Amino acid sequence: MIQLDHVYKTYGTIAGPNVVLNDVCVAFPDRESIGILGRNGAGKSTLLRIISGVEKPDSGRVSLTSRVSWPLGFAGGFSVSLSGEENCRFVARIYGESVDRVVASARDFAELGDYFYMPVRTYSSGMRARLAFGLSMAVDFDVYLVDEVTAVGDKQFQEKCRRAFAARQERSSVIIVSHSLSVIRSYCRRCAVLSHGGLRIFDSVKEASRAYDAGAAA
């Protein structure tokens, strides 16, 4: 269970304070994947970072009873001077997992060939996304926070991610941020809309997209 109670987050800008999350109270139940729609700059990535604990809210509480991943995004979190393998070793250690098992599992999932042993600097953005995904799949999370990452890999890899998630639907769920309705629909039944600092969950992707289009979600 992921619960947000009266979460506020504001960023100071030259033009004055920008309220990104304004008194957000929401509960994400276990084993239920949820998509999040929102315009650019609406605060979707901020929301994921706050759920993961990487960023702290200005006020309010985030309580987690499930094991939540780091926000899987555009390859953030990799040290580019280290190889894919070394990055995997580090992540395995900080999550207290078996290093050998995580490395082997990430290597097999990411399918990077010899690049797995070369510095991440030499990777394309698609390859970094593969590594991030393979690595996160190797660590057993209850909830995966996914930030548009599926848009990066090629068709085959996207399909592979979907299958991997489907296979573990019993024990894991995703909270996925995307602009693409079809991506959200393929992972989730329910969907939320983030706009003007408010988050509202709808029972179907259809309702959410209608509210999103109407711009009346707040």
Partner 1 sequence: MSLARGAFIQLQVVHALVLRETRTRFGEHQLGYLWAVLEPLMWVGTFWGLYEVTDHPVPHGMDTLAFLATGVLTYELFAKNVSRISEAINGNKPLLFYPQVQPIDLVWARAALETATLTAVFVIVMGAGAFFRAQMPRVNDVLVVMAGLLMAALLGTSLGLLLCMLGTLSNLVERLRGPLMRPLFWISGLFFTVDAVPAGAQRALLLNPVLHAVELVREGWFSSYESPGASVPYVLYFTLALLTAGLLLERLVRRKIELS
Residues 6 or more apart in contact with residue 50 via CB below 8 angstroms: 4, 7, 9, 21, 56, 57, 62
73 three-class SS: coil
**Residue 122 DSSP one-character state:** G
> Which residue, 46 or 150, has its beta carbon nearer to partner 1?
46
Give the CA distances from residue 14 to residues 10, 11, 154, 197, 210, in Å, rounded to whole numbers and listed in that order.
Answer: 13, 10, 39, 19, 34
With tokens 């290093």, the residue in question is 99
| Residue 167: CB minimum distance to partner 1, A | 25
Q: Which is nearer to partner 1, 78 or 116 (CB)?
A: 78
**Cβ closest to partner 1, residue 139 vs residue 208:** 139
Q: Least distance in Å: CB of 216 to partner 1?
A: 32
Of 94 and 214, CB closest to partner 1: 94
Beta bridge partners of 64: 2
Residue closer to partner 1 by CB (options 41, 53) is 53
Name the minimum Å distance from CB 92 to partner 1. 8
Smallest distance from the beta carbon of 47 to partner 1, in angstroms?
A: 14
Shortest distance (Å) from residue 89 CB to partner 1: 8
Residues that bind partner 1 (CB under 8 A): 49, 52-56, 68, 70-71, 76-82, 86, 89-91, 93-96, 119
Contact 63, 78 (CB under 8 A): no
Residues 111 and 114: their CA atoms lie apart, in Å, by 9
